[in-house]
Amino acid sequence: MNIKEKIANKALPIEKALIKYLKIREPTKLYEAMAHIPLAGGKRLRPVMALLTCEMVGGESKKAVPFATSLEVIHNFTLVHDDVMDDDDLRHGVPACHTIYGLPTAILAGDSLFSYAFEMITDCEINDNIKSDLVKHIAYTVRRIAEGQQMDINFEEEETVNTDEYLEMIRLKTSILFGSAAYGGVLIGGGNKKQANELRQMAISVGLGFQIWDDYLDAMAPAEILGKPSGSDIRQGKRTLLVIDALNRASENERKELINILDNSDNSDDEIKRAVEIMETSGALKHCHKQAMGYLDGAKETLEKYPMNKARNTLEELLKYMVTRGH
């Protein structure tokens, strides 16, 4: 069984929980919009990470299913709103929520998914102290995700963004929710606070690698693999780590050319290909791949502190998949 099959198998309780929680009720349009993106598919990496960390420290993963499902719902709430903000028409290979249900309902669907996640956490069969901790932690996490999203929006208006600023943005916008998966999984599994925070930091680091690799795939992978149009970050003028690195490495002429492409809101496919070519010839693609793998090496060192069991072995495979998928 390869890692994608293992992830899908581990995610089966999450899929069942999503169907249960996201059943269609009145007002029908709202609940159909809420279910549209979560039930369209997805890698389920965050909930699976929560289940695996729970098992790795000796817990029963079934106790973590409501919490793990809440993470997937929060992730999807951000996707629904991101697609509105970015005006993306495709997500998980299906039309984005707002393209079917309209902007007002898509915003309401995202809001409802966000609030519903907290109801799910309260369904966990854990003591009230841990439950309270997790509710507060997830509320904090979502607020930080919003900060990261605002940073990302701000970057679109700036010609240059430095590497540290970009890494902080993706730490908040993307990585922090992976950290929450590990944090909650460990506490539900009976681990202590020190372990929860240690594995949270590990997951955040690999989450950075995940997003860097996601940026790489956005530039290099075809739409059928991405589930959305390739090169969408370039079309939106986003200053990803790839772009930042390419701007630092490229010749002055290529740097100007890349900036012109990024600042043009109506690029042709050939211009997008040219931007990717500059990233490749400058060495930015290779460097970002190396950086993503570096985060994985750090995670392996952390996991070596824990006894080897089936869950740890699968978690190691999952982390590797996060920074090598589609390669």
Handedness of CA 55, 57, 59, 65 (dihedral sign): negative
The pLDDT value recorded for residue 119 is: 96
In a domain, 13, yes or no: yes
Domain housing 51? 3-322
pTM over 0.85: yes
What pairs with residue 95 in β-bridges? Answer: 90
| DSSP classification of residue 306 | S
SS3 content of the chain, % helix, strand, coil (to 5): 75, 0, 25
Q: What is the CATH number of the domain that holds 45?
A: 1.10.600.10
Q: Are 94 and 40 in contact (CB under 8 A)?
A: yes
Domain count along the chain: 1
In a domain, 280, yes or no: yes
Distance separating alpha carbons of residues 59 and 53, to the nearest angstrom: 9
3-class SS string, 102-142: CHHHHHHHHHHHHHHHHHHHHCCCCCHHHHHHHHHHHHHHH
In a domain, 327, yes or no: no
The pLDDT value recorded for residue 101 is: 95
In a domain, 185, yes or no: yes
pLDDT profile of the chain (327 residues), mean per 10 = 92 97 97 95 95 97 97 96 85 89 96 97 95 97 96 81 90 95 98 96 94 82 59 80 89 91 84 89 87 87 92 95 79
Distance separating alpha carbons of residues 80 and 101, to the nearest angstrom: 11
In sequence order, the 6+-apart residues with CB closer than 8 A to the CB of 114 are 73, 74, 77, 142
Over residues 107-160, the pLDDT tens digits come to: 999 999 999 999 999 999 999 999 999 999 999 999 999 999 999 888 877 767
Q: Are 166 and 152 in contact (CB under 8 A)?
A: no
3-state secondary structure at position 277: helix
Torsion of CA 181, 298, 195, 140, to 10 degrees: -40
In a domain, 232, yes or no: yes
Distance separating alpha carbons of residues 267 and 271, to the nearest angstrom: 6
Q: Return the number of other C-beta atoms located less than 10 Å from residue 174's C-beta.
A: 22
In order, the DSSP letters of 186-247 are HHHTT--HHHHHHHHHHHHHHHHHHHHHHHHHHHHS-HHHHTS-TTHHHHTT---HHHHHHH
The pLDDT value recorded for residue 229 is: 62
Over residues 30-63, the pLDDT tens digits come to: 999 999 999 998 899 999 999 999 999 999 999 9
The pLDDT value recorded for residue 291 is: 87
In a domain, 273, yes or no: yes
